[in-house]
Structure 1
Amino acid sequence: MSKLVEINFDGIVGPSHNYAGLSLGNIASADHRGEPSFPRAAALQGLAKMRGNLARLGVQGFLLPLPRPNTPLAERLVLDGSEDPALRAAPWSASSMWTANAATVSPAPDTADGRCHLTPANLVTMLHRAQEWPDTKRQLDLAFADSAHFAVHDPVPPSFGDEGAANHMRLCENHGEAGVEVFVYGRPGGRFPARQHEQASRLVARAHRLDRTRCVFVEQSPEAIDAGAFHNDVVAVANGRVLFAHEQAFAERGRAYDAIRAAFPPLEVVEVPASEVSLEEAIRTYLFNAQLLTLPSGGMALIVPEECRESASVWQYCEALMASNGPIREVIPVDVRQSMANGGGPACLRLRVVCDPASVDSRFLLDEEKADGIGQVIAAHWPEQIDPRDIGRESLARDVIAARHALLDALDLSQLA
């Protein structure tokens, strides 16, 4: 178990990155609908974040953009130019960049068979995301092909919406030791869809053969969902012993904390009061859609969007957090503005997998030489700008397909073409 470490697998932003506003309940996505997007800048911003965490942690993974435009989906939608623009844009979606929605992951120390289990999210609530899982699973099957260490499942039945790790947290003394897994679900009936179904979470826990006494199921606050926290990771993040959450993250928060603490007594809750950072400002700046990392030194760092530093109330809180004697000692802003404008911060861009790096297909692990190569492909092939009227054009389709193929060739992953 000593070889087990946490690896963040970030999604490389795809060449069709655009602002079609397809995600109901995602305030940022709706606010930027119809604006020009900048895929090259978006991908380079994401790569820079990966480089930073590689330097901090010594290990970093990535997942690749999925095939876009998705021609089979476009054919099934019978697109002829008379349809709603949202339908026309769906096959072009680059939302797989947010790998927090790729799967739910249970590390080997938590499972009955001692393997790391991964279940791809079905993402059935939104058409543009429901198309992702077959191609996501192809990558997971390849990256985690060692059946002695990994079990990759099929998604849960589409009757139950599952959004993956964005609604899942893990608490532990050390990443390589048995932990407690916290599944956060929403209830329907509010202003926006509650995307994570309770039964999907329970099914995943059973499929991963988790100890029931070390699983906790808590409800996300309907108030948070209605304010635009379409996933739990918009209002809460956990790492090690620490749960960093907004005061309004959970329904009946006292009971939620009690339930988690009953399963994991060392729990340290760092709760941000609404009086210091409003729910709306937390969602606007994505303070909680951050990467909470355990550094080699043993302290924790919070990787937040630059938007947090630009908010008076949020940055005042962050400065007080760093000055306190709490577990979070550093707050590090990063520029992921292109992702933020579509509703995804640093946490959305990564899937956390605890495993031995030697058990992973090395083609999915980053090093500086590989990062240089990826950057060169992006600079040479990713479109600089996509306007809304470009979506559906054959010339753009050719460019997007060629760009992805250039990346696959550079990484020796042409089998995913």
Structure 2
Amino acid sequence: MKSKELNFDGLIGPTHNFGGLALGNLPSSKNQYAVSYPKKAALQGLEKMKQLHLLGIPQGIIPPQERPYLPALRKAGYEGDDQQILEKVAQNDFKLLLQCSSASSMWTANAATISPSADTQDRRVHITPANLISQAHRAIESDQTTKILKMIFFERRHFVHHPRLPNHESLCDEGAANHMRLTPQAGHQGVELFVYGRHYENEQSPMPAKFSARQTFEASKAVALTHQLDESRLVFLQQNPKAIDAGVFHNDLIATTNDNFFLYHEEAFLDKEQKMKEIQEKYAQFSSKPACLIEVKKEMLTMDEAVESFLFNSQMITLPDQSMILIAPLQCENSRAKEVINWVIEGDNPVKNVHYFDLQQSMANGGGPACLRLRVVLTEEEYYQIHHSFILEKLHFGLLEEWIKKYFRDEIHVEDLKSYEFLCESRQALDKLTQILNLGSIYSFQ
């Protein structure tokens, strides 16, 4: 059956700020407490969605989460009405306020892991929301993410929703940012690649020295098991601890796949030669041609340059004519990463072009093009069984642009997050968004 890949981008929310909350995320730490520009950020993200739509790629959207998130503050022991709670937490625990005000749900690559029906034993799409427990500001996203995913993929004959993994440090799960897939073509069976940073149960396993590894092997294995994936088409790869210490907090900063194409840095993985051999052996079960594995040597691009440019966080897209393009951040055009991109395009592989996008506001917080999207492969029948209020059509882009320009502030200082007036503004913006997209009441304040 013919299939298509959808990209569900996170719409950047009105509280976009630089709280510097993400340990191991170098841009986040570097820009802590800098002035942010939410209107510009949201328009930059929307422009990427619009251009992919114009290229013929089905484009979905995931609304921003409610921020500041007062239900989390109430669970933390703060009492009173909304204004009183905001004033108390601003005075007593500003970091907690920052954690409950982050717009990090924009990076939907961390929303969930999704396995297409072609790979699963029961031939249904399997969905597991990430628990994101390694970072406090992201751990509060999971409930709303689960709610939205169940709204989008509501039909039970085609979609299976698993609960997030238990909130235990042995099961730290960061979603699709640590999940890849190789297949001859969307809709065919594929080899699913799960990337982890550490073995929780094996103390002898290599570990980073500077930053903690966010994804555990145990979490990756649990997701693969619940998704009913065949072990013969499954590969687990461990991140190189050196990469994590260099700022590769998720695999999608150092490796990426699309259909039969795999682009990765020389220093991305441990046991690299053995793992690439395993991938090709398992891929050969359903393809007479080997997968196209392209390794970028450190002489071409150092690990530090890869992290700074976000080259490997480029979004790889198969166009309707079956050619591939890179959706790369503008930073790649002004660095040695451009030489690597040109080398890839000129090589013997499916990638034939590149489009550069200005995503500076997201990048300054540690998220490039691929961070902003959750990719989902669906058959035509499955596609017609999803909630199409979350699929963007031509009309939506103008409406959303007007919405952003009307409701988003030009700039935010982190001190603005203490303001009750700003809380009301943010809620008003989200309430209007649910009307534009015809979503009904999805937020706690509605």
Q: How many Å apart are 1:82 and its aligned residue?
A: 4.7
Q: How many Å apart are 1:323 and its aligned residue?
A: 2.4
Distance 1:388 1:379 in 2: 20
Distance 1:327 1:318 in 2: 13
- Please state whether the residue corresponding to 2:118 is helix, strand or coil: helix
Any runs of at least 4 consecutive aligned residues in structure 1 with deviations exceeding 4 A, and if so which? none
- Please state whether the residue corresponding to 2:98 is helix, strand or coil: helix
What's 1:143 paired with? Answer: 152
What's 2:259 paired with? Answer: 240
What's 1:400 paired with? Answer: 426
Query: Which one-letter code corresponds to 1:12 in the other structure?
Result: L
Distance 1:401 1:173 in 2: 45
TM-score by length of 2: 0.91
What's 1:109 paired with? Answer: 118
Is 1:389 paired with 2:398?
A: no
Alignment of 1:228-377 (within 5 A): 228-265=247-284, 266-311=290-335, 313-355=336-378, 356=380, 357-377=383-403
- Please state whether the residue corresponding to 2:237 is helix, strand or coil: strand
Is 1:29 paired with 2:28?
A: yes
CA contact (8 A) 1:89 1:392 kept: no
Higher Rg: 2
- Please state whether the residue corresponding to 1:108 is helix, strand or coil: coil
Tell me how many residue pairs correspond in the alignment: 415
Distance 2:50 2:62 in 1: 14
TM-score by length of 1: 0.97
Is 1:157 paired with 2:181?
A: no
Distance 2:108 2:15 in 1: 16
Query: Which runs of 5 or more residues in structure 1 are unaligned?
Result: none
Seq. identity, %: 40
CA contact (8 A) 2:107 2:372 kept: yes
Distance 2:275 2:239 in 1: 9
CA contact (8 A) 2:292 2:349 kept: no
Q: How many Å apart are 1:57 and its aligned residue?
A: 2.7
- Please state whether the residue corresponding to 2:54 is helix, strand or coil: helix
Query: Which runs of 5 or more residues in structure 2 are unaligned?
Result: 79-87, 199-206, 285-289
What's 1:186 paired with? Answer: 197
- Please state whether the residue corresponding to 1:346 is helix, strand or coil: coil
What's 2:66 paired with? Answer: 67
Q: How many Å apart are 1:174 and its aligned residue?
A: 1.1
RMSD value over aligned CA atoms? Answer: 1.2
Distance 1:5 1:80 in 2: 46
Distance 1:367 1:21 in 2: 35
Distance 1:80 1:86 in 2: 9
Residues 168-227 of structure 1 deviation map (CA, whole Å, 9 limit, x = unaligned): 001101111111100000025531111111111111111111111111111011011000
CA contact (8 A) 1:383 1:399 kept: no
CA contact (8 A) 1:405 1:414 kept: no
Distance 1:287 1:412 in 2: 36
Distance 1:210 1:202 in 2: 10
What's 2:96 paired with? Answer: 87
Query: Which one-letter code corresponds to 2:229 in the other structure?
Result: L
Residues 1-47 of structure 1 deviation map (CA, whole Å, 9 limit, x = unaligned): 22x21000000001111000000000011111110111111111111
Distance 1:249 1:369, change over 3 A: same
Alignment of 1:209-228 (within 5 A): 209-228=228-247
